Amino acid sequence: INWSDWSSDVCSSDLLYGHGIEREIAYLTVHSVLHLLGYDHVNGGLEKTVMREKEEVVLEALGLAINKV
């Protein structure tokens, strides 16, 4: 792993999506663990929806939910 590239990507995503770096790192961690558990989003549809819902449940439990208006 090239940590320099990874940290640059995290900071870019942070700016792009408008949330803090703490949430971005947590999101990437949760997303990766869900992949390790067999979840996927590549084909879209229900699989993607289920994975995104699970990501948000975990992030909310960590106090890092997206503030929806």
Contact status, residue 65 vs residue 56, Cβ threshold 8 Å: yes
Residues with Cβ within 8 Å of 10's Cβ and at least 6 positions away in sequence, in order, are 21, 24, 25, 28
Query: Quick check: helix, strand or coil at residue 6?
Result: helix
Mean pLDDT of 42-65: 93
Does the pTM surpass 0.85? The reply is: no
- pLDDT tens across 16-41, in order? 566 778 888 898 899 999 999 999 98
The predicted structure's pLDDT at residue 17: 61
Which amino acid type is present at position 41? H
Comparing 4 with 39, the larger pLDDT belongs to 39
